[in-house]
Amino acid sequence: MCSEMCSQQVLMVDDVPFNLIPLEGMLEAKDIKFTSCFTGREAVRLFAMKLTARCCQSTYQIVLTDI
C-alpha cells in the first residue's frame, strides 16, 4: 500500500464522481498516477497521510478541486 500511495502524484477532488471521469482518462493516457476522492475531508486525510508516510519522498504535486 505504501509504495502504491507514494507513486500517486495528483490528487483530484470532486463531490460528483462523474466529473472526475474525463480527468482520470486524460491522466491515464499520459501514464500519470493519481488518486480520486469525493469529499474535502477525504482529500485532507489523504494529503496528510502522504505527508506523514515514512516511505514517501514527495507529496502530491498538484491537487485539482472543483472549487
pLDDT in tens, 2-59: 555 566 689 999 999 999 999 999 999 999 999 999 999 999 999 998 888 766 667 8
User: Does domain 2-65 fall into CATH 3.40.50?
Assistant: yes
| Strands of the chain, DSSP E | 10-13, 34-37, 62-65
pTM of the full predicted structure?
0.79
Angle at 45 between CA 39 and CA 19, to 5 degrees: 30
